[in-house]
Amino acid sequence: MTEERTYRAWVMTEPGQPVTEQALPNPPPPPGEALIEVAGCGVCHTDISFLHLGVPTRAKPPLALGHEISGTVMEVGEGVDDSLLRQPVLVPAVMPCGECEACRTGHRRICRQQVMPGNDRHGGFATHVTVPARYLCPVSEEVLARCALWELSVVADAITTPFQAIRSSGLTAGDLAICIGVGGIGIHSVQIAAALEARVIALDVDAKKLAQAAAHGAAATIDVSGLSIKEIKGKVKEEAKRLGAPGYRWRIFETSGTRPGQETAFALLGFGAHLAVVGFTMEKLEVRLSNLMAFDATMAGNWGCDPELYPEVLEWIAAGRIEVSPFVAQYPLDEINSVLEAAHAGTLERRAVLVP
């Protein structure tokens, strides 16, 4: 009799309750897929939204959450290149099918057959995870010379998602980039915009985060604690003028995922401006959409990042254009419930990465 294959996972049995350790079946990967031994899985606000804020997962619980995954390929299914075996990889947070009309026409982020670990199927809060192999992103020795594989897990969302937003915005050298909320995702917006030689203004309510942003590319910071939107607009205009930035075509990146952050972002729209909505909240807000027409402005979101951009992001990391290590902290996977509670309470100073 052959021994049953299983792996350990921490599973959300129902929203609002602590996750529980379970042994899950671990059959050989099906055709087109690969079994990954998890090196690390980042804790994202989306995981907190699934667990505590009423956002439903597409696959019904019980479900292992976690979509910021790095690890090593241990097995591959039929049709997958054997050269991937034993390779360190990033698992894209959103994996398109690569075959449908949306994928064939370059709209991979809206593929309706996409797979998101921790949403469509079991995710990375586990020792292993099985995922489609098509868009796995190998990690080079040059990248690993700068970052441990577990640290790189956050690239799968916290770095690539703002990278996609900035790329889609058309931000160029000399433009003004306004980053609203410079926590676990927003700090990377600052880094990426600064690497493109934009003039960067960072807004937050946390003095420590603003100091960190100033140390990693923000030319100006504004503590918006207790300020009205009118006062915030005034301070942004002052800083833009001081930096010699034009008064038009501002590029605004909302990464706080809060109602006040989104209200502020929309209020900053001016002539030719572009607002990228990167953060997520279930809260609603009232805005005057005619501002988009009056200012010839645009507003867009992006559901994750096109996996074809992942190799370029890793090249930026290898070249030192994006830092990862200062912004992550390692926690044992078996401490997951205390880490999730701290993330929900907003008391973590760095993005948590759970390591089996």
Summary mean pLDDT of the chain? 97
Enumerate the CATH 3.40.50.720 domain ranges in the chain, comma separated: 160-301
pLDDT band of residue 1 (cuts 50, 70, 90) is: very low
As a whole number, mean pLDDT of residues 34-59 equals 96
pLDDT confidence of residue 4: 82
- For the 160-301 domain, the top CATH level (class) is alpha beta
Please determine, for residue 112, whether its predicted confidence score (pLDDT) is greater than 50.
yes
% pLDDT > 90, the chain: 98
CA–CA dist 212, 224 (Å, integer): 16
- Second CATH level (architecture) for the domain 6-157+305-355: Alpha-Beta Complex (3.90)
Q: What are the pLDDT digits (tens) for 68-104?
A: 999 999 999 999 999 999 999 999 999 999 999 999 9
Q: What are the pLDDT digits (tens) for 161-205?
A: 999 999 999 999 999 999 999 999 999 999 999 999 999 999 999
- Cβ atoms of 24 and 122 closer than 8 Å: yes
As a whole number, mean pLDDT of residues 23-42 equals 98
Residues forming beta bridges with residue 83, ordered by sequence position: none
As a whole number, mean pLDDT of residues 23-31 equals 97
Please determine, for residue 2, whether its predicted confidence score (pLDDT) is greater than 80.
no
Please determine, for residue 279, whether its predicted confidence score (pLDDT) is greater than 50.
yes
pLDDT confidence of residue 3: 65
As a whole number, mean pLDDT of residues 27-53 equals 97
As a whole number, mean pLDDT of residues 54-64 equals 96
Enumerate the CATH 3.90.180.10 domain ranges in the chain, comma separated: 6-157+305-355
Give all strands (DSSP E) within the chain, no chain letters.
6-12, 20-25, 33-42, 63-64, 68-76, 88-91, 128-132, 137-138, 176-180, 199-204, 220-223, 251-254, 274-277, 298-301, 328-332, 351-355
As a whole number, mean pLDDT of residues 298-314 equals 97
The pTM of this model reads 0.96
